Amino acid sequence: MKINFSIKLTWGMLLISLVYSTNGFGQQQQEEKENYTPYELLSSYYDDNFKPFSKKNGYVGLSFSLADTKLTNTDYLIQQVLDGNRNDFNILLKGGYYTGNYGMIGLNFNYYQNKFVGDVYREPDTLQSNSITRGFAFTPNVKSSFPLTKNERLSLFTEVGFTFGMSNSLNRSTKNLDEVDKTYGTEYNFRVGLSPGITFFVIENFAFEVQLNVLGYDLKVSEKSTNDAPKSKEIRQNVDFNINILSLQLGLAYYFGSNKHN
């Protein structure tokens, strides 16, 4: 009985000592954290073993834009908008997998809509115009990242993508209340492009991304028909090498497995 009692007493003292030391260590860590500035607390996550671009990591991203524009007496090339509303939106979803360190293969999906309703002047008539365009595109891509800081919180990247897209449009113009012209359009698009960008991690695995199209080859095939007239077809090719601010994309991204390399 004495031996059992001694063993139980020894285990009890060891348990109390372990709990006390653990609490003491936790309290010490808490006290140290309380002395950190907000910036230090935010940055401490990236100081140890933060590897967002390592092999077998995953990536998802999202960017979107919405526009609701009121137009009054606005001049365009072939018409003047007397009074109208334009509603546009664009959604871009991204996904990827790092097959090697700093190298990712991915797939982007884009869906967009452009809509206009209003009165326009096309010499010599004033028309009521309703138009809508909806389209989508898939972009398989290869992405390479280049860290600018030791903790990889800020980095540059380049993305080479191959885009396959399609859109449908309908434009209805009404004159004198009963004269209606309908134009149906279908466009097929193929593009090879280079898009550099910047990634900045804001909190843990979440990052802001800024991306810009600077170099590309476009092939577009357009088909149109008005009322019962035969279809017309147009093929356009374009090579661009410029910085187009209209192609600027701002988005959010999440990197899976960024802090698992302990």
Q: Which two tokens stand for residue 185?
A: 């359009």
Q: Which two tokens stand for residue 35?
A: 């002395």
Residue type, 2: K
Beta bridge partners of 111: 91, 136
Dihedral sign for Cα 68, 116, 93, 142, please: negative
What SS3 string covers 90-123?
Answer: EEEEEEEEEEECCEEEEEEEEEEEEEEEEEEEEC
Q: pLDDT below 70 — which residues of the chain?
A: 1-43, 244, 246, 260-262
pTM given for the model: 0.79
For residue 3, what pLDDT is reported? 40
**DSSP secondary structure letter of residue 231:** P
For residue 21, what pLDDT is reported? 39
Q: Judge contact between 194 and 139, C-beta under 8 A.
A: no
Radius of gyration of the chain (CA): 29
Helix, strand, or coil here: 152?
Answer: coil
The Cα 247–Cα 245 span in angstroms is 5
For residue 243, what pLDDT is reported? 73
Q: Judge contact between 182 and 228, C-beta under 8 A.
A: no
Nearest of 54, 64, 115 to residue 88 by alpha carbon: 115
The Cα 85–Cα 76 span in angstroms is 15
**Which residues fall within 8 angstroms of residue 75, CB to CB, at 6 or more apart?**
81
Peptide bond into 147 cis (omega under 30): no
For residue 49, what pLDDT is reported? 83
Domains and CATH numbers, the chain: 53-256 (2.40.160)
Q: Which two tokens stand for residue 32?
A: 């140290």
For residue 246, what pLDDT is reported? 66
